[in-house]
Structures are given as structure tokens and as C-alpha cells.
């Protein structure tokens, strides 16, 4: 047999053998480790997210912004990076909350803020700082079981925790409350 025909037959045999043994389709079922990693990954993620909630009358009630939101199907929750939350009450008073990270539980409508949390009453300038804050969006309650520091102007109050009603605009402090009040300077006349 001439040499070129032998080379063509050898190449054809190699192609047929490769085609027979090579399967470009991945396995039908992933292994256990791959399945666990797949479940641990977010279902979706959004950069620069913004979400609005409205009441039955069509009025804005809440707004949530974040640098990034990762939604996980297992557990029905989302991890939130640098969340900024705004709550609007019926009399148009607003509360703002910021944190480094958070977790939104979709089924319970609960926002858990963590690390460098600041809750502010926007009209009075009152600020509450803590390491954690749980916001119940249905009841419009903010609660912290960690030490909190509340400031308004030069006045400062610390406590072992607090519950704030965003609708009623009240804050109830937990035990070990300490306050420092600075008297406002009086205007002096002639």
C-alpha cells in the first residue's frame, strides 16, 4: 500500500476511535460535592439594587437600596451588602438605617442589619448606633439586643438594647440606661 493512503487510513482510524471514546456531554448527575456547591450559590444577584414597597392606598412605605443583593432559594433569603433602608410613616416622617451588611428574610419580611448599624429619625436628627438591628417590616419595629448609643445633638444615651416603633416614633430602651444631657446655651440679652 502506498504511504499516503496508509497515513489517511491511520488518521481516519484515529478520528473514529476518538469519536467513539470521547463524550463531550457532562455526566447526567453531578457528584455530591458539586450538588452542595450549587445549592450554596445565589440563585440571582443584583448590583446597585433599589426596591420600593407601597401600602394599600398606593403610598410609599419602605425603600431598600444596596450595593449588591444575592438571593438564595434555599432558605428564601437575600444577603445584602451595604444596605440603606428608608421607612415612611403615615404622617410623612422618615427613618433611615444603614449598615455594612444585612440579610432579608422574604417570607417573614424581616431585615437583619449587621455591623456598624445606624438608625436615624430624619426629622429630629436622633441617631442610634449598634452592631445589629432587626427590622420587622410588617409591624414597623426596629429592635436591637446589643448595646446601643443614641445621640441627639450633644445629648448621648447608652443602653443594653432598644425597641423603636417607626410608626409611633417611640424608642423603648432596655436595661442599664445612662445619659449625658448638655444644656442648650441661653441667649443673653442687654
Q: Which of 170, 184, 186 is nearest to 124 (CA)?
A: 170
Residue 6 pLDDT class (50, 70, 90 cuts)? low
Mean pLDDT, the chain, whole residue set: 81
C-alpha cell at 157: 444615651
Mean pLDDT check: name the lowest of 34-43, 70-79, 108-117: 34-43
Q: Which of 104, 102, 116 is nearest to 148 (CA)?
A: 116
Percent of the chain predicted with pLDDT > 90: 28
> What long-range pairs does 114-122 form, CB within 8 A, spacing at least 24?
117/144, 119/95, 119/164, 120/95, 120/96, 121/93, 121/95, 121/169, 122/93, 122/94, 122/95, 122/96
Q: Which whole-number Å values give the CA distances from 56 to 53, 92, 94, 136, in the listed order?
A: 10, 16, 18, 18
What integer pLDDT is reported at residue 23 of this predicted model?
A: 64
Alpha helices in the chain (DSSP H): 3-21, 32-40
Residue 28 pLDDT class (50, 70, 90 cuts)? low
Give the tens place of pLDDT for each residue, 72-91: 777 788 888 899 988 887 67
Q: pTM for the full model?
A: 0.70
Residue 132 pLDDT class (50, 70, 90 cuts)? very high
Cα end-to-end distance, the chain, whole Å? 125
Q: Which of 146, 98, 103 is nearest to 118 (CA)?
A: 98
What integer pLDDT is reported at residue 131 of this predicted model?
A: 93
What integer pLDDT is reported at residue 143 of this predicted model?
A: 94
Q: Which of 109, 117, 122 is nearest to 133 (CA)?
A: 117
Q: Which of 82, 174, 95, 101 is nearest to 140 (CA)?
A: 95
Give the tens place of pLDDT for each residue, 139-187: 889 999 999 999 988 899 999 999 998 888 888 998 899 988 888 777 5
Amino acid at each position: 500500500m502506498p504511504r499516503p493512503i496508509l497515513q489517511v487510513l491511520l488518521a481516519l482510524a484515529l478520528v473514529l476511535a476518538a469519536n467513539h471514546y470521547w463524550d463531550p456531554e457532562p455526566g447526567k448527575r453531578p457528584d455530591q460535592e458539586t450538588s452542595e456547591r450549587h445549592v450554596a450559590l445565589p440563585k440571582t444577584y443584583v448590583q446597585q439594587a433599589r426596591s420600593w414597597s407601597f401600602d394599600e392606598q398606593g403610598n410609599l412605605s419602605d425603600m431598600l437600596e444596596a450595593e449588591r443583593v444575592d438571593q438564595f432559594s434555599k432558605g428564601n433569603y437575600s444577603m445584602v451588602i451595604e444596605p440603606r433602608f428608608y421607612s415612611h410613616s403615615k404622617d410623612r416622617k422618615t427613618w433611615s438605617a444603614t449598615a455594612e451588611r444585612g440579610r432579608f428574610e422574604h417570607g417573614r419580611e424581616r431585615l437583619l442589619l449587621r455591623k456598624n448599624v445606624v438608625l436615624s429619625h430624619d426629622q429630629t436628627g436622633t441617631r442610634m448606633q449598634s452592631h445589629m438591628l432587626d427590622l420587622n417590616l410588617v409591624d414597623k419595629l426596629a429592635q436591637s439586643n446589643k448595646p446601643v448609643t443614641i445621640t441627639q445633638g450633644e445629648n448621648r444615651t447608652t443602653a443594653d438594647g432598644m425597641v423603636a416603633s417607626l410608626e409611633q416614633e417611640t424608642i423603648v430602651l432596655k436595661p442599664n440606661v445612662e445619659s449625658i444631657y448638655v444644656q442648650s446655651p441661653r441667649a443673653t440679652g442687654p
